[in-house]
Structure 1
Amino acid sequence: MKRYAVYYAPRDGVFAYRANEWLGREPGNDRDLPQPVLAGIGDPHAITAEPRRYGFHGTLRAPFRLAAEVTEASVRHCVAELAARLAPVTCEGLQVEVLHGFVALTPVGCEAALLDLGAAVVEATNALRAPLSEAEIARRRPDRLSPRQRDLLERWGYPFVMEEFRFHLTLTDQLEAPGPVSAALKMFFTPVLPRPFVIDELCLFGEDQSGRFHLLHRYALTG
């Protein structure tokens, strides 16, 4: 694996299947799925390229390259120890929302707890990552970031952490007109959205050489 990440990903069930079906891929076994045709959406494959590559997930620690002395075994050990210290986070549920032009599922009723969880994961895994390269910094478009976001990028390797963090589960690429897609996905997902929505695991993902992410292991939050 060329990069690793710590995500939330739902366990097998109707919610996970519907999300994987929508994106056309199961990240746990890398099996492609036929995508549903929904009213108001012409070609789902054409608007889900990026989330399909990553697999259905919510980011807690964005993808990073390993530091020179770090191995995958070190990463697994770190995430396992972290999960044993952290408690699950319970939210009221999930809602379909448009964020900066892309459609996502966002949690309701747990903002402070999610900020704490995200900060704990970022802090605990920071020593695992290699310093950002010039190209990686440039991809974050630092000229478009606030001074605080640039500081976070330098300190933690990603600009949207700590108080800038907003947990979400991406459903589409960025769209010019997301309204009709959002309406269709609300109808598609609402019957299976979990209430409450509980994050009770950390999921270690790895990016292969082709750029696709795979679920490597789940670690229960038992703190």
Structure 2
Amino acid sequence: MRYALYFSPAADHSLTKTASRWLGRDAFTGETFPTPSAEGLSSEEIHALTADPRRYAFHATLKAPFELAEGRSEEELIEAFERLAASTTGFDIPNLVIGQLGRFFALVPDQVYPELQAFAARIVEEFEPFRAPLSEPDIARRKPETLSPEHRANLMRWGYPHVMDEFRFHMTLSGPVPPEQAPAMRAAIEPRFSDFTNKPLSIDGLALFVEPTRGADFIAHRWLPLKPASETRKTGT
């Protein structure tokens, strides 16, 4: 069993529903959907190009998948998860856009926002005591010899390269897309997600996902709302 802390909109949010239908699976309900087709891309091609994000389900990684450290229990993890959600105030990403990280398409902020970076760093650090050390095969799978010094240091310290100063919020919509298929993929994604781009995204909840066995689909185990910003303003905290 592996656990991960993700940002996800709530199960009934229109973005969750839209992304689940695009990827072909809903992590909250377990429902699967037919793969869409698009001009220039067959449904078979889209199915193959969305295979990786379909297994992990629609989300933004905050604390990457980990096995529990020796002496830690799922009950303790859930209690810490509940405490964090109850004590954390939600906020907005001011502008969400469709971007590319290498060959991957994703929903990303239009720039780096310090509040978002601090939120992600806090989760990485606070849940580190629950993470079992990476095994040698897990380290090897990350190909540390190909990583930058910063990414390699993060991998060894935090179990994941893309954290702290190297963190970039992204909600993945595809696996790696060959350059010749990238224009068609962008044309397929943009209209489907136009209701959610070039506008704010509320970071108003936190999700605990689980991978029951290695290689299995990730499922949403818990989702909790964060404190509304209006509540913080009322109390003056």
- Please indicate, yes or no, whether the TM-score normalized by the shorter chain is above 0.5: yes
| Aligned position for 2:186 | 182
Deviation at 1:109, TM superposition (A): 5.5
Deviation at 1:167, TM superposition (A): 0.5
| Aligned position for 1:191 | 195
- Map Cα deviations across residues 89-148 of structure 1 (whole Å, 9 max, x no partner): 211232111111011110236621111011000001000010010011111111111222
| Aligned position for 1:16 | 16
RMSD: 1.6
Query: For 1:22, what is the secondary structure of its paired residue?
Result: helix
Residue 219 in 1 paired to residue 224 in 2? yes
Structure 1 or 2, whichever has the larger Rg, is 2
Distance 2:122 2:101 in 1: 24
Distance 1:138 1:70 in 2: 25
1:23 partner amino acid: L
| Aligned position for 2:158 | 156
Distance 1:106 1:128 in 2: 28
Count how many residue pairs are aligned between Structure 1 and Structure 2.
Answer: 222
Query: For 1:36, what is the secondary structure of its paired residue?
Result: coil
Q: Tell me if structure 1 keeps the 8 A contact 2:93–2:202.
A: yes
| Aligned position for 1:202 | 206
2:6 partner amino acid: Y
Distance 1:169 1:151 in 2: 24
- Map Cα deviations across residues 159-191 of structure 1 (whole Å, 9 max, x no partner): 110000001000111111223201221122113
| Aligned position for 1:37 | 37
Residues 179-188 or 129-138, more deviating: 179-188
**Equivalent of residue 52 in structure 2, options 50, 74, 80:** 50
Which structure 1 segments of 5+ residues have no match?
Answer: none
1:167 partner amino acid: F
Deviation at 1:79, TM superposition (A): 1.1
Matching of residues 49-198 of structure 1 within 5 Å: 49-108=51-110, 111-177=113-179, 178-193=182-197, 195-198=199-202
| Aligned position for 1:5 | 4
Q: Structure 1 vs Structure 2: percent identity of aligned residues?
A: 39
Distance 1:38 1:208 in 2: 33
Distance 1:197 1:191 in 2: 11
Distance 2:97 2:19 in 1: 13
| Aligned position for 2:26 | 26
Deviation at 1:219, TM superposition (A): 2.0
* TM value normalised by structure 2: 0.88
Query: For 1:149, what is the secondary structure of its paired residue?
Result: helix
